[in-house]
């Protein structure tokens, strides 16, 4: 498996790790029979953790497809790996800014992550002009 493949796995773990501690810390008020109860997420930190978690779920498919497409179409693996690691670093920072209630920085990081994804997605198209 490549570094980029591990980054795909890590991005799944990241969005799970975003919400799991919130549920664990609030285990007395978290009802597993009703895990989407809006009352549990009424506290600001819990609401932000849920938002970061949901955004991680939304960002994952494009990232996974972009990495797989780039790898299957013969893009320079070192570049795919570097961009995937960079995406993961940006996503980690994104989660921290989401939890820390920094909406402007969070939006900037989201945009950077999206641009990285677009770059990975289009690597097969430009692979002949990218140095290996």
Q: In terms of pTM, does the model score above 0.85?
A: yes
Say which range, 8-22, 77-91, 92-106, 118-132, has the weakest mean pLDDT.
Answer: 118-132
Tokens of 32: 């597993």
Residue 123 contacts residue 80 (beta carbons within 8 Å): yes
| Whether pLDDT at 27 is above 80 | no
Q: Assess contact for 79 and 130: CB atoms under 8 A.
A: yes
pLDDT at 35: 83
Query: Which domains does the chain carry?
Result: 3-129 (1.20.120.550)
């Amino acid at each position: 498996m490549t570094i980029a493949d591990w980054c795909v796995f890590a991005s799944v773990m990241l969005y799970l790790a975003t919400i799991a501690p919130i549920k664990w810390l609030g285990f007395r008020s978290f009802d597993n029979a009703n895990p989407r109860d809006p009352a549990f997420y009424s506290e600001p930190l819990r609401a932000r953790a849920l938002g970061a978690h949901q955004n991680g779920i939304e960002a994952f498919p494009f990232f996974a497809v972009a990495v797989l497409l780039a790898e299957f179409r013969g893009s320079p693996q070192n570049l795919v790996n570097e961009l995937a690691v960079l995406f993961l670093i940006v996503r980690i920072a994104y989660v921290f800014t989401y939890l820390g209630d920094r909406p402007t920085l969070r939006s900037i990081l989201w945009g950077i992550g999206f641009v990285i994804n677009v770059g990975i997605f289009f690597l097969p198209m430009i692979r002949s002009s990218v140095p290996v």
